[in-house]
Structure 1
């Protein structure tokens, strides 16, 4: 009798295991007749939860499963296109990408598979995702190279813009792009973006979330865009970034491709590559300040310095302008390396053209006006780097258009 009960229980257990296995093999979607199973979605969801350290709530789990399905559909399309074009990546490229993931997630070097297994993830599933990201990037670059030519005139214009922006600020940003491909996705994707922002602000790592949720070309690099200057981002993004402080994460920004999330990592004054090695020949007008100068003393000195500045049309006018303003401290400073000057003086002098004079610059002991007599530019701008920067932004737009084309031409069936 007991043997019969035990046998019944074993058979029931086996039946449950078989049913569970069959359920995992259930087809959730077909992408041009290629299967995405429930097992695939569960595996990707585990990867997302483990690598992003998202809060494990029913709402987050639903969002993660939705994201897993969208990502897997896109990746099937991307790899099908890569196969059609005969594009692959080698193991060395995959190993380099894994090393980057280890650095981003503070995993000891060479311990990636151990981390995956400890997190309950099949290492091959992450490696397949990485291989797809690399293949897609290569495919976008190949299409970009075949269809886009960057002229020397465009590079000249970009360099001219770099020079005109010298002395202004530039921002170090990372991004997450949550795509909106049709009107039905508008609100669900906005809610997805809001949940991502909430998780980031609660301590989830931006880089990991970018790798799993962003559909931009920067996703493989953890969303890192790099240093960008004012006027190089879309207006809707630029307006938000200008009001952010270092460390801020933006609210969802609606752009052409969807909702963009921006992390402002740093901000600095723009200095042209090699600009500090430029040499400047200067004259100055100097208005001394009394010890423990009052605000009235400083304002009077600034007014005198401004009077002299208004009379200067070229370097030859400096001494006469100072004499006319009844100032004794005027004359040549000789030729100086820009990088050797105090920060406040360098900011005042760097944007000047020859024979232009700076606005009055206050120090503890005096008010200074500098006139630029000559400038020897350092040849520090790398034209190839400028070309590369232009290509990166174009690749972002092309990638969004490319995946939309693949979706449009595909047969995608959800079950």
Structure 2
């Protein structure tokens, strides 16, 4: 097993692959933005061919460092797990050394830390289905991380060392989709490459083929895909001989395929072939518990990547958490990168946020102000006798927590509202309200 992290030249980790916690024992939120020498005991940025042992996750791992062109590479070798290793590549301006085929950065590397019940259920399903070769159908809006889920399934499977190939069915013209899927033999048609062409089924042999936007596949091509799934073989254009296909299929769509079947735009028999294990990724607006950890993840990722120091003001956090995120995680990642780079000051404030976020936050504040406050909120908290300061502070904290809990949907929102960490809110709840 290989797990990869990328670090800047100063040693800060700004990306790691999805199985990083398994090898190191460190969560992604703890890893991203941390300095490798501080996170990994025994790590040293110098050339060495001598393996030194360190203890991580109660296991002994052996550390190797060596030079690759303009990059330094660190390997953590787990000799008790069939050669499991962690590979850290430190390159110029954070660029990594050449990655192995099929081990390129995806979104799957932050999914384990998301606290919402919806995502915990998805991760639990992945743990079960990854060990099999069953076909997986991933539903979700644009930007929710469908490709990251598919990559995570591949990297957690027995096929993880084999190719991981992606084809966006909606990006290929109908006249070219068959040659992209199955390839063609030399001279198969006018204008064909004289050496022929491999299709994605041949490129993914032994590994995983991810067909994104499967609902966009033309009906004529659906018939041929169904035949491959049934017979586990395909024919190149211009070649009569069938080629066996040892490929795990994962597909994704933002369409309701059952409705597409009813409308005659998607074959019913293909739908049932694909819908062996359906996974639905909820949109970000339906799992607000995930917004705060995602904001912190991307903040740490991009501050480390660009060597900048940035924080989010409490008001900016509240506005970002109340935003509806129509573009989901992809929109958040792009927005956070822009905020980190373009902010004038170290603290990212409400004024730095896009107009759409500020306007939605303003509308929500106006709506809240129009709601009559109950007696508990209308009256200030008063202390009627002399108390020890610690006891008085506890009374105020308890009142604030009760008020915040009535207005917020999660401990992450409460933490943002009160300007503290989520772990502090959880601890205070146990202390005062349970």
* Shorter-chain TM band: under 0.3
Rg larger for: 1
Q: Which has the higher contact order (CA 8 A, sep 6+)?
A: 1
TM-score (norm: length of structure 2): 0.19
Comparing both structures, which one devotes a greater share of its residues to helix? 1
TM-score (norm: length of structure 1): 0.20
